[in-house]
Chain A
Amino acid sequence: MLRYRHVLTCAERTVRVLAAMSGGVDSAVAAARLRDAGHDVTGVHLALAAKPATMREGARGCCSVEDSRDARRCADVLDIPFYVWDLAARFREDVVEPFVAEYAAGRTPNPCLRCNEKIKFSAVLERARALGFDAVGTGHYARLDRGVLRRAADPDKDQSYVLGVLRPDQLAGALFPLGDSPKSEVRAEAAARGLVVAEKPDSHDICFIPSGDTRGFLADRIEAAPGEMVDPAGEVVGAHRGVQDFTVGQRHGLGLRRPAPDGRPRYVLGLEPVSRTVRVGPVEELDVTGLTGSAPVWLVDPPREEMDCVVQVRAHGGIAPATVRVVGDVVEVALAEPLRGVAPGQAAVFYRPDVDGDVVLGSATIAATSR
């Protein structure tokens, strides 16, 4: 019924692979496995920060000079060539600036997903192909076999969501050698291989905001546009300095002047940048039963009729059975059970509705939600 688009695959033949190496344990083991599989592997560290810090701070980020050195050290141990590609300008243009613009427009972007779409499997892949490589290999946790993208075996580490935006021609140049392994196995393998990053903490949050202070980062880049916080009755219950400080579903840090009449906590329900309004209300009003997605990408033939699937609306959690219908340029998604905290700007990734629910069918950017 659901026919996958024909995609040539790199996995079962020996090819020239560019291994993107962040300096972390996952991409190092990925490079090692690709080399062991007989591929001709060259390591590349992507320098994405304009002014990289000399040392890594805590568990955040992957863009310091120290991370670059870690990647180089691993490549040396693996005895593969290693280079640093400076993609800071592209990253700023294609990831950081849209990230800021999306927040300013009252949406909640996912920059990792944008980086996969625009940097790793676009700028890097295209340059690699022109230089004679067949594929880009990364340490993402997802399974890719003959063009079929599936969730990783380790459900806690699954990253198929942030890869769900890739087109078939992009996936044709991708290799994810960690999809079958739990993280603990990858760490143990790194240690066994003598890779110094075996114990390195996982990176969290947003790599270009090493402080972890997204609000502060946005405040430096978006002019303050103060406005009101309004409850479902239309009553003004607080003030704010700009919609970029909020995400749909947010409960903490609302700074409301007075409690709700019923004493229950209030959540951000919606962001309206034009009127500078933040809508707040009780938790049940967060429930969403439908959403509209724009700019869909399909790994199967675009459905001509209604299609049953499982939709995921954020990187962790937010999964529900749904029915999808393509209407012109947009995708209309009817949820079989309500989802809470669905933020416009995030991706809706569609999975096949079978027992495992782990095959990616396509994705779209959430434009609007309905109750």
Chain B
Amino acid sequence: MTYLDHAATTPMLPEAAATLTDALGRVGNASSLHTAGRRARRAIEESRETIAEAVGALPSEVVLATGGTEADNLAVKGLYWARRAADARRTRVVVSAAEHHAVLDAGEWLAEHEGAQLDVLPVDGHGRVDPEVLRAALAGHVDEVAVVSVMWANNEVGTVNDVRALAEVAHTFGVPFHTDAVQAVGAVPVDFAASGVDALSLTGHKLGGPVGAGALLLRRDAQCTPLLHGGGQERDVRSGTLDVPGTMSLATAVRAAVADVDRRTAMLTALRDDLVARVVAEVPDARLNGVPLDRPGERLPGNAHLSFPGCEGDSLLMLLDARGIECSTGSACTAGVARPSHVLLAMGLDEDLARGSLRFSLGHNSTPADVDAVVEAIGPVVERARRAGDALARS
């Protein structure tokens, strides 16, 4: 099997898997007062410290959650509610057009049910948000915006935003800034304090940790209304009994992935550049989406996103799958029906080209053999997918 869908989920790091399985046999509620509880609490707090240290945050800024979707919802809704409660004029939510649905749909929900106005920032042809575009949006509605959310790195095309500049603009207008860094942590350098953001989402399973463990990094001075009420865990922002094994495993994975970023970046960049160059050599009219490869640092090192004119993405996916190559057409949809990606459309691709796109995402255990497998398959697969597209048009 050639697994090139690490942006969907990546295999657990062996040390994270070992931490998880070792911890699964333990008992203890971190809120309990007896010995087992103390032991659990210690494990949680040590994990929290590990995570904080790896991403440049304070331990008290780590709000443990189940993953990216929960962290994004907590940030967008929680910051909105709290800011609006402090100042009733602030009812606008500003997000970028390339956000994950966990942010976009949370914003839309606020617009539908909580009286918010959702402002969607355009992205450029590479999928980036220009800080000046954000400045103009905020300047047009001074004192009306409750929260801004712009992702650190895009899950489809791998574009890395200048989060620090964006956060600075938001703060100029007194608006809290959230970033979805689910694809960024462990893939590019992320320093919570240095970035200046107020809230940052991360999740375990994108960086070699378990599914179901993640965190919202939340500045100590950030006001955030909870989604979940109950036992008052996690600064009263996120109630619920803490997942000790998951948190320990998350911490192991975050520490290992972050410590390995430089080596991994070099390794993945080389593999990815090779993949893109050789795929384009096989299919000359294939086009790379997102930031050009000669601008490292602005693109996730493991991301190769390509459009194949005249092909349906789902035909390509199916034909590659039959050859043992696993990749993605974009973010998966519940019904499995391929809709053109909102990210690609926001970047200005036409619908046909957007439909004919594939994301290959490499990760920590990718090898040159994986690239070879794609290069060997892609020519015949594209040719066949084109014939299928023609056949459908003719029939």
Contact = CB atoms under 8 A, between A and B. Distances in A.
B388 A131 contact: yes
Interface string A69-84: 0001000000001011
A65 B335 contact: yes
Contact of B390 (A86, A90, A130): A130
Contacts of B334: 65
A130 B311 CA distance: 12
A323 interface: no
Interface stretch (A121-129, A217-225, A356-364): A121-129
A85 B314 contact: yes
- Is the contact region of chain B dominated by helix, strand, or loop, or is it mixed? helix
A132 B322 CA distance: 11
B315 interface: yes
B217 to A, nearest CB: 34
B318 A131 contact: yes
Contacts of B136: none
Contacts of A123: 392, 395
Contacts of A45: 336
B391 interface: yes
B113 interface: no
A81 B395 contact: no
B395 A127 contact: yes
Contact of B336 (A81, A83, A126, A127): A83
Given A42-B318, A131-B315, A131-B384, A84 B391 contact: no
A210 to B, nearest CB: 16
B338 interface: yes
Nearest to B317: A83
A127 B339 CA distance: 18
Interface string A214-240: 000000000000000000000000000
Given A42-B318, A131-B315, A131-B318, A126 B392 contact: yes
Interface in A53-104: 65, 68, 72, 81, 83-86, 90
A311 to B, nearest CB: 29
B337 A83 contact: no
Contact of A126 (B335, B339, B391): B391
Nearest to A90: B392
Most buried by A among B317, B319, B385, B388: B388
15 contacts: A47-B336, A47-B337, A68-B336, A81-B322, A84-B335, A84-B337, A86-B338, A122-B395, A123-B392, A125-B395, A126-B394, A127-B395, A130-B384, A130-B387, A132-B384
Interface string B320-340: 011000000000001111110
A83 B391 contact: no
B388 A130 contact: yes
B318 A52 contact: no
B384 A127 contact: no
A47 B335 contact: yes
Interface string B266-280: 000000000000000
Nearest to B380: A132
A18 B211 CA distance: 33
A90 B335 CA distance: 18
Interface of A: 42, 45, 47, 52, 65, 68, 72, 81, 83-86, 90, 122-123, 125-127, 129-132
Contacts of B389: 130
Nearest to A83: B318
A112 to B, nearest CB: 18
Interface residues of B, number: 23
Contacts of B319: 131-132
Contacts of A84: 314, 335-338
A14 B322 CA distance: 17
Nearest to A118: B395
B354 to A, nearest CB: 14
A52 B335 contact: yes
Contacts of A129: 391
Interface of B: 314-315, 317-319, 321-322, 334-339, 384-385, 387-392, 394-395
Nearest to A68: B335
A129 B391 CA distance: 9
Most buried by B among A45, A52, A83, A125: A83
Nearest to B392: A127
A85 B390 CA distance: 16
A122 B393 CA distance: 11
Given A47-B335, A68-B336, A81 B392 contact: no
A126 B315 CA distance: 13
A105 to B, nearest CB: 25
What are the 5 A-B residue pairs with the smallest beta carbon separation, nearest first?
Answer: A84-B336, A130-B388, A126-B395, A130-B391, A126-B391
Nearest to A121: B395
A84 B338 CA distance: 8
B318 A127 contact: no
A39 to B, nearest CB: 14
Contacts of A126: 391-392, 394-395
A84 B335 CA distance: 8
Contacts of A122: 395
Nearest to B334: A65
A72 B337 CA distance: 12
B92 to A, nearest CB: 29
Nearest to B388: A130
Contacts of B336: 45, 47, 68, 72, 83-84
A86 B385 CA distance: 15
A68 B337 CA distance: 10
A245 B212 CA distance: 55
A213 B391 CA distance: 35
A298 to B, nearest CB: 21
Most buried by A among B335, B339, B387: B335
Contacts of B339: 86
B385 to A, nearest CB: 8
Contacts of A52: 335, 337
A46 to B, nearest CB: 10
B336 to A, nearest CB: 4
A293 to B, nearest CB: 24
B126 to A, nearest CB: 28
A52 B389 CA distance: 24
Nearest to B336: A84
Contacts of A83: 314, 317-318, 336
Contacts of A42: 318, 322
B67 to A, nearest CB: 22
A86 B317 CA distance: 14
A360 to B, nearest CB: 22
B318 to A, nearest CB: 5
Contacts of A68: 335-337
